[in-house]
Amino acid sequence: MTDQDPPGAEQDEGRAGLRRAAFLKAAREVFLEHGYDNASMAEIVRRAGGSLSTLYAQFGGKKGLFEAMVDARVEELTEPMVVELSAHTPIREGLQRIGERFMARLSEPDALNVFRLMAGQARTFPDLAGGYARRGPERIRSALAAYLKDRAEAGEVRIENFDVAAQIFFDLVRARMALRTLFEPDYHPSDADIREAVDRGVRVFLGGVEALAP
């Protein structure tokens, strides 16, 4: 009876879509809570509603469900990382803003948990792990590289390789927290922590990058 039915729209909820979304959400919760091995398919169904049979029909099995879940999650976490950075913002301010946005994204509990989970399962799901690690940072890094290029042309910095420089900046900003959060599941940086870490990163970066292009 429905007369809309958009032809190529898979993302919007048919009845199958609704079920699928519910399964993915529950799977995310349970996997992140218990880890891959200790997550139970039955509990996922319990939380999602629906039935075990449908779960298996839609995802094939535990492995398939996990992959689908991570895929969806990476998409969600990556998407909002595009930073609105008017190209001509002064460099210090621009770096600070892009750095904070980046760290805020990475510091959300869910993102951290996916991070940890993937690290643990890297050898079981090599493709997924590689993809996750690459897809996330890639987009924002190239955005930063472009921004650095713009600033270099404006004469604010002297940089030789923009991609390398962007990489260094992010590493500098995230290293401390990324490593710490991996091993202390209960540590969650506050906004102030983030601001401070980024500030320190920006200062070292601005002082140091030019040493790479003499």
Partner DNA sequence: ACAACAGTGTAATCTGCGTTACGGTTACTT
Partner DNA sequence: AAGTAACCGTAACGCAGATTACACTGTTGT
Binding site for DNA (CB under 7 A): 1-2, 15-16, 19, 38-42, 49-54, 56-58, 61-63
- Cβ proximity of 187 and 197 under 8 Å: no
* Nearer residue to its own copies within complex by CB, 20 or 31: 31
41 binds its own copies (CB under 8 A): no
143 binds its own copies (CB under 8 A): no
Question: Is residue 192 within a helix (H) or strand (E), and if so which, with residue range?
Answer: helix 191-208
Q: Which does 61 bind (CB under 5 to 8 A by kind): its own copies, DNA, none?
A: DNA
Q: Which does 149 bind (CB under 5 to 8 A by kind): DNA, its own copies, none?
A: none
Q: State the DSSP string of 77-144.
A: HHGGG-----TTS-HHHHHHHHHHHHHHHHHSHHHHHHHHHHHHHTTTSHHHHHHHHHHHHHHHHHHH
Site for its own copies, rule CB under 8 A: 35, 37-38, 116-124, 126, 129-130, 132-133, 164, 167-168, 171-172, 174-176, 178-180, 182-186, 200, 203-212
